[in-house]
Chain A
Amino acid sequence: MLLEKLQSAVGAGVILPDGHETFVLNLGPQHPATHGVLRVKLTMDGEYILRAEPVPGYIHRMQEKMGENRSWSKYLPNTSRIDYLSAMTYTHAYVLVVERAAGIEVPPRAEYLRVITSELNRISSHLVWFGAFLLDLGGFTPLLYAFDDREKILDLLESVTGSRLTYCYYRFGGLCNDVDAEFLTGAREFVAYMRPRLAMYRQLVTDNIILRKRLEGIGRIDAELCRKYGATGPVIRGAGVANDVRRVEPYSVYPLLDFKIPVYSECDCMARYLVRMDEMEQSLRIVEQAIAQLPEGPVMGKVPRVVKVPAGDYYHAVEAARGRFAIRIVSDGKEIPYRIKLRTPSFSNLSLFEEASRGMMLPDALALMGSLDLVIPDIDR
C-alpha cells in the first residue's frame, strides 16, 4: 500500500501513516558521491531512504549494438571502454571468447603475460576504488596515496601497451608485443613496494575507529540478495560465498597459480572493503608467481589474417575487478558478429541497491553504494 503510493508519487511528497511527509531527493546525475553520471531518485522520510530508484542511461554508448557493425577484431578496443578501470580483464574476456569460438591456440607465454597485466590492472582498479570509497566517507587523504601507487602500475602498463587506461594489448591468439626485461623487473619491484604500502593502509585506514564504526554492520547484503540480483565479485564474497570465476570456471593459467579467494561472511560494508583489500594482496602473489613461472617463447599464435568465427553461440566469463564479466557472442559465420551480449558486474551490483538501501540513512546508503564499487559506463555500456 505504502510502496504503491510511493511508486505513484513522481517528484512530489506523500503523507505517511505517521503524519510525516516524504520528499524526493534527486541524487545525481551530477553528485560528488555517484562518481559519474548515475542518477538515483530517492524518496526520503527525513534522512531515511524509503525508496531508491536508480536511473541509469546517462552514458549509454550502445556498446552492444556497435559490435554488430564492425569486424571481430575491430570490436576489440570497444571492450576496454566498458569498464575503463579494469580494461585488461574486459579485453581478456573478449579475446578468450573469440579464441574459444574460432579454435585459436594461444602460446603459454602470452597467457602468463595476460594474467600478469590483468592482475596489475585489478590492483590499480581496486586502488581507485579504495581512494574513492574513502572520499565518499569524507577522508580525502587516502585518495592521493592510492593514486600515487596506481601511477606506478600505469607507468608499467604504459611501457608495454602504450596506453594508460584503455588498454588494447591482447589480440586473438596472443599479445600485440612481448614485454622486455625492464617491465619484469619493474613489476617485481612494484610487488616489493606494494606489500608494505598495503600494511600501511591496514594500519592507518582499516584500523581507524571512525572507519570501522561507519562500515561495520552497515549495508547488509546477504547471499540470498546476491543470488536474487546476480551480484558477483567482492559483493558476493563479502556475503560469505567463495564465488570467483578464476576458481569456479577456471580460465587462462589461473589453475596453475596458487592464490586464495578472500571471503568474509559479515555481509556488511566492512566485509566488502576487506575482500578488496585482501584481493590486492592475492593479486600481488599472482603477479609474483606468474613472473617466476613465465616461460620463454612467442607471444602470438597462428592466426588467420581475417578472423572468421564459425556460426554458433559462444560464451566466456572472466573475473573482472567488480565481479563476473561475461561476453556471449552469436555468429552467423560472417566477418562481423551477429550479436554481442555483455554481462557486466556493475549493472547487477547496482540492481540490488534499491532493495538493500531501503530504510537506511543517506550517509549509510552512500557508504553502501561506495562499497558496491560502481563504474557508471559499465552499468550503461
Chain B
Amino acid sequence: MTLPEPFRLLAYLAGVMAFVGVNAAYLVWVERKGAARFQRRPGPTEVGPAGLLQPLADAAKLLSKQLLVPPDADRTLFRVAPVLVMAPALMCLATIPFGKTLGARSLDLGLVMVFAFGSINVMAIMLGGWASRNKYAIISAARIVSQNVAYEIPMMLVVITLIMVTGTTNLQEIVEDQAGGFWKWNVFNLAANPLMPVTFVIFFICMLAETNRAPFDMAEAESELVAGAFTEYAGMGFGVFFMAEYANILVGCSLGAILFLGGWQSPFGILSGVGWFLLKLYALVFTVVWVRWTFPRTQFYGLLNLSWKILIPVSLGTLVLTCIMLKIF
C-alpha cells in the first residue's frame, strides 16, 4: 500500500515524531528501571503498573513548571537551543530504513545527511551553555566542543572505512548488501577488513562520546559542573534536552545497527523485517544504559587522549588496511 506523496510524507512525519516521542519518554523509563536493577532496587513502581506511567507523570510535572530565563541570559539563544538539539535528531531519523519498505526517504547521501545533522546537536548544546551566562554551563560548553571535535574524527574515519566496503552512502542499500545471514553483516565482513569488529567497537565508543553518555558525560558531569550546560534550564527546557539525549542515542544506535549489524536483515537469512531492526536497536540502547551504570566517568584529558592517541591511529590503521584488502582482493 502506498499513499500519494504528500500524504505519505505527512504520515512519516507524524510517525517519526511519534517514534521519537514515545522512545524518548520510555527510554527514560528503561534507563530508570535498568539502573534500578543494576543497583538492586525496584526503581519506579508507583505510577501505573511497574511504573509505566512514570514518563507521563514526569512530562506533566515538567510542563507545569515555569520556564525561567536567567536575567543575564541571551533570551533568544536560550530558548532556541533545546529546539536545535531536538530537531536534527528527528531529521536524521527521516533517512533511517526501519524495514524493506518502511523509511521516510531513501536518500543516496543518507549517511552523509545523518552526520551533517548530527553535528548540529553539539552546536545547540554549546549555544545553550553559552546563552545561560553561567560559569558551569560555559565550562561544559567548552568541553562539549573539544570532545565532539575529538570524536567526530575517528567516527568519520570508521564511516569512510565502511563506505569503502559498501560502496554506497544510501542506508537502504547498505542494509540490502548485508542480506543472507549474520555472517554477511558488516561487523563480520572480515574479507574486506579483518579488523571489522574493532571498527565496530570504535564506532560504539565514538557514539557514546558524541551523545555525551557516560563514561564520557563530561558535559553534564553532575559532580563537577552541577548539570553542565543544562544548569539554568527549568521545566520543559530541561525536559527537551533530556529527551533529545535519548533521541540522539536512538539515532546513534540505529546507525550502528544499520552500518554494522545488518539493519532489518534477519540473522538467519529468512523472515527479515522491522522486528529485527528494533531488536538490534534496543540491544544497542540497552548496552548504552548498561555502560552508564557500570563505569565511573573518565577524566577530560583522558577522554581526549583516548581519542587522539588510540582511536584515531587505530581507525586510520583500519582504513589503510581496508584500502589494501580491497585493492588486493
Measured between beta carbons, the chain A residues less than 8 angstroms from B226 are: 31-32
Are B135 and A139 in contact (CB-based, < 8 A)? no
A148's partner among B40, B135, B142, B297 (CB-CB below 8 A) is: B40
Q: Mark B217-230, 1 if CB is under 8 A from A, else 0.
A: 10001111010000
Which of the segments A180-188, A210-218, A373-381 contacts the partner chain?
A: A210-218
- Beta-carbon contact of B296 and A208 below 8 Å: yes
Interface segment, A58-66, A286-294, A332-340, A360-368? A360-368
Contact indicator A25/B215 (Cβ below 8 Å): no
Q: A137 interface residue, CB < 8 Å from B? A: yes
Asked whether B39 is an interface residue with its Cβ less than 8 Å from the other chain, the reply is yes
- Is there an interface contact between A145 and B302, defined as CB atoms closer than 8 Å? no
Alpha-carbon distance between A25 and B226 when the two chains are bound, in angstroms: 12
Interface size on B, residues (CB 8 A): 28
A136 contacts chain B at the CB level, 8 A cutoff: yes
Which residues 285-328 in B have Cβ within 8 Å of A in the complex? 293-302
Q: Does residue B160 face the partner (Cβ distance < 8 Å to A)?
A: no
Query: Residue A179 at the B interface, CB < 8 A?
Result: no
> Do B215 and A210 touch (CB < 8 A)?
yes
Q: Interface residues of A toward B: which range?
A: 20 to 34
The residue on B at minimum CB distance from A140 is: B293
**Contact mask for chain A residues 135-173; partner B; CB cutoff 8 A; 1 contact, 0 none:** 111111100110010000000000000000000000000
**B residues near A210, Cβ cutoff 8 Å:** 215, 295-298, 302
Contact of A33 among B139, B142, B224, B302 (CB under 8 A): B224
**A23 in the interface (beta carbon within 8 A):** yes
Cβ of A47 < 8 Å from any Cβ of B?
yes
B135 A25 Cβ-Cβ under 8 A: yes
Does B83 sit within 8 A of A, measured CB to CB?
no
Give A218's nearest chain B residue, CB to CB. Answer: B299
For residue A134, CB closer than 8 A to chain B, the reply is: yes
Do the beta carbons of B296 and A144 come within 8 Å of each other?
Answer: no
CA separation between A210 and B295, bound complex, in Å? 7
Q: Is B35 on the interface with A (CB-CB < 8 A)?
A: yes
A137 to B218, CA, bound (A): 11
Name B residues whose Cβ lies closer than 8 Å to a Cβ of A. Answer: 35, 38-41, 135-136, 139, 142-143, 214-215, 217, 221-224, 226, 293-302
Instruction: Pick 24 A–B contacts, CB within 8 A, sort by A.
Output: A25-B135, A25-B136, A32-B222, A32-B223, A32-B226, A33-B223, A136-B223, A137-B223, A137-B296, A138-B221, A138-B222, A138-B223, A138-B297, A139-B295, A139-B296, A141-B293, A141-B294, A144-B40, A208-B296, A210-B215, A210-B296, A210-B297, A214-B297, A361-B299
Nearest 3 Cβ contacts at the A-B interface? A138-B297, A139-B296, A144-B39
Given contacts A47-B143, A140-B39, A214-B302, 13 further A-B contacts (CB under 8 A): A32-B226, A46-B142, A47-B139, A134-B296, A137-B223, A138-B214, A139-B295, A139-B296, A139-B297, A144-B39, A208-B296, A210-B296, A363-B299
